Amino acid sequence: MIDEILNKAKNGKELSDEEYLELLNIDDDEQLEKLFKIACQIRDKQSTTIKLTSTVHLTNKCQIEPKCEYCGFAEETSKKGYYNAFYRSNDEILRAVNSIEEAHIPRVSCSGGYGYKGKQAVNACRIVKQNSNLEILVNVGGDLTEKSIDQLAQLGVDTICCNLETINEEVFYQRKPGDSLEKRIETCKSVCEKGIGLSSGLLLGIGESVEDRLKHLRYLANFKTLEEIPIMGFNPYEGTPMADCPPFPLKEQLKIVAITRIMYPEITITMPTPTVGPENVEFSLRAGANNLATVIADNYPHEVKGVGSPTYGNYCEVVNVIEKLGLIPQTI
């Protein structure tokens, strides 16, 4: 049965929800390997180039209250995270951007907390576009207005990211009681209406079901400029309300990567290195991902704590892994 479904996927045939559920419920290692292999074949048919994305965290001051239960990024949420409040100055942003370009990483993600109506994102986009040739993704969640999205469009932003995390409302509001799923969806719609590339991903392992994950993946097809899906796995951050919850199993995270690849053959599938663990980058590429995020080179001027965990992927190590697999790292 699984072989038949995988054969259909390989030949580019549409799979039904029942068939996707069969794949999502695979627990046999041999079949899992087959799933990963098909996903890689589908990716490699499009391109064997792997995108690399570095990061500038603009601020960890976030006005969401109460804070999201898993968050170790915002100020005073976790001693393992940034903990002390910071707001990067223009000069600090510029130094980080220059270091990323010098390291030949082609893309930067500029992200930060809520409460600025997108002004911090617009400012960062201006700095990136005026001083570098980097591709830029901005991610301040749903903290954007129509005006700031217009300004980002005028500045030539390449991608705007607004993760829905989960579309199960009950789980969303349990884990993100200060946030609004509706506002996030509205932000995604506005980004699409303005013709800007949208990135919108899933945070796995916060209480959603397997069916919710499938529904969420299907739901993303409503966004007409969707070009990237980050697949994030929950990791407990010490000191947060979810500190004692189990991390999302790597195998399950990889399964979602492979299934997303089958559903969206041409999409950019992003593995943020902090949420998969830098040591597991290889497995994410073997499951069909084609973008590694939070990749930091040795010349980076600031301390970095990943949003999902305090770790990140080192540029040289990541490039070595990509080349070892016979893939091509996209560098500038």
Binding site for ligand SF4 (CB under 6 A): 62, 64, 67-68, 71, 73-74, 113-114, 141, 179
Q: Structure tokens of 239?
A: 């000191």
Tell the smallest beta-carbon distance from residue 184 to ligand SF4 (Å).
Answer: 10
If the CB atoms of residues 106 and 115 are measured against ligand SF4, the closer one turns out to be 115
Smallest distance from ligand SF4 to CB 229, Å:
18
Q: Which is nearer to ligand SF4, 232 or 319 (CB)?
A: 232
**In terms of CB distance, is 99 or 139 closer to ligand SF4?**
139
Which string of DSSP letters, residue by residue, matches 208-265? --HHHHHHHHHHGGG-TTEEEEEEEE--PPTTSTTTTSPPPPHHHHHHHHHHHHHH-T
State the nearest-atom distance from the C-beta of 163 to ligand SF4, in Å: 9
Tell me the backbone φ, ψ of residue 98, rounded to 5 degrees: -60, -40
Count of residues in the chain:
332
Three-class SS of residue 203? strand
User: For strand 268-272 and strand 291-293, is the pairing parallel, antiparallel, or unpaired?
Assistant: parallel
**29-46 and 250-263 helices, crossing angle to 10°:** 40
Least spacing, CB of residue 59 vs ligand SF4, in Å: 9
Q: Which is nearer to ligand SF4, 15 or 245 (CB)?
A: 245
Q: DSSP secondary-structure letter at 279?
A: G
Least distance to ligand SF4, CB of residue 74, Å: 4
Is beta strand 202-204 parallel, antiparallel or unpaired with respect to 197-199? unpaired
Nearer to ligand SF4, 73 or 315 (CB): 73
